[in-house]
Amino acid sequence: MFLLPCLGAGGQMDDNTTKNGNVALYACFSVFGVFGGAIHNVLGGRWTMVSGGLTYALYSGSLVYYSNTKEPTFVIVASAILGIGAGMFWTAQGTIMMSYPSENQKGRAVGIFWIIFNMGAVLGSFIPFGLNFHSSAGQVSTATYYVLMALMVIGALLGLGLIPPEKVGGEIIEILKLFKNKNMLLLLPLCVTSNWFYSYQFGAVNGVLFNVRTRSFNSAFYWGAQMIGAYGVGLLLDNPKLHRRTRALYGLALVTILTLIIWGGGLGLQVQYTREDHPKDIDFINGPGWGGKFVLYLFYGFLDAVLQT
């Protein structure tokens, strides 16, 4: 589901369309991410997940339309709908992830979910990698979109197999009460920034510097690194030898240290180029300087999983 943005939206869209689409997406996501719980309790986890998942296929379809017409309206509308669907989908996913496992297995369960989740992204990255391996173009082929759309529809419909959850009332009131909770307010800056970096990493790094097959290759390892990071920190958070507060403090320290180191490396890369003056279509086989950029991009993915877990 994150594959097309990770490839720089397939290399198809101009900057203005990309920016307008992202604004529409995250504006809707920020609202429906908060009230997704109320929708979840009305529709149930099954239909919330299916409905949200299908909006990703719609977004992919809008890129096919844009590829043929260069008309941005459908992309922006589909991005807004995707923001609504993403709020619903990730609410349902979070409910499942936190309610199914027992208390002493939650960290490991999050890690296992992250492995399964990112395995789809790894395999999905190799699909455009294979389809575009012999292409030096800066955008993916139309066949890539159709394959990914089919996988998105199938994946969303599999949500129909979920066990129905119990009904919970008064959800909107309970959501509003969260804004009076000191601990939740302290977490708010972290929650707000948890997805900001995707647009930068996918668009201004992977989408700008590399050709399409290298983007796909980088993407596979980006998500693969997330699998390792999520499972590793999950084991730390479930360590029975440490008190719960100690585990939380260790996790916070780990996130802080990794953030400073990895984003420090990102700053070192960013000062080497601008939007107007940057390397283009770097290839993973013979492109100059690909190795260092690849390692940094890999650790971007690793840090994302550690932070989210």
Tokens of 215: 């983007």
Tokens of 38: 């109320």
Q: Which amino acid is at 251?
A: G
142-167 per-position pLDDT tens digit: 777 787 788 888 888 887 877 654 44
Cβ contacts of 173 within 8 Å, gap of 6 or more: none
Minimal CA–CA distance to 146: which of 53, 49, 55, 63?
63
Q: 282 in helix, strand or coil?
A: strand
Sorting pLDDT into bands at 50, 70 and 90, what band is 168?
A: very low
Tokens of 283: 């290839």
DSSP code at position 206: I
Confidence check: pLDDT of 288 > 90: no
Beta-bridge partners for 282: 210
94-146 per-position pLDDT tens digit: 887 777 676 677 777 777 777 777 776 776 666 666 666 665 555 556 777 78
Report the C-alpha gap between 19 and 149 in whole angstroms.
Answer: 22
Q: Which amino acid is at 195?
A: N
Between residues 86 and 189, the one the model is more confident about: 86
Minimal CA–CA distance to 51: which of 93, 78, 77, 89?
89
Considering the chain, what percentage of its residues have pLDDT values greater than 90? 16
Q: List the chain domain ranges.
A: 3-308
10 torsion bin: left (phi>0), alpha (psi -120 to 50), beta (else): left
- Phi and psi (nearest 5°) for 13? -85, 145
Confidence check: pLDDT of 260 > 90: yes
Between residues 4 and 305, the one the model is more confident about: 305
Q: Are 202 and 268 in contact (CB under 8 A)?
A: no
Q: Is the domain 3-308 a CATH 1.10.357.140 member? A: no
Confidence check: pLDDT of 255 > 80: yes
Between residues 296 and 309, the one the model is more confident about: 296
What integer pLDDT is reported at residue 69 of this predicted model? 84
Ranges 1-15, 70-84, 135-149: which has the least confidence: 1-15
Question: Can you count the helices (H) and strands (E) in the chain?
Answer: 13, 0
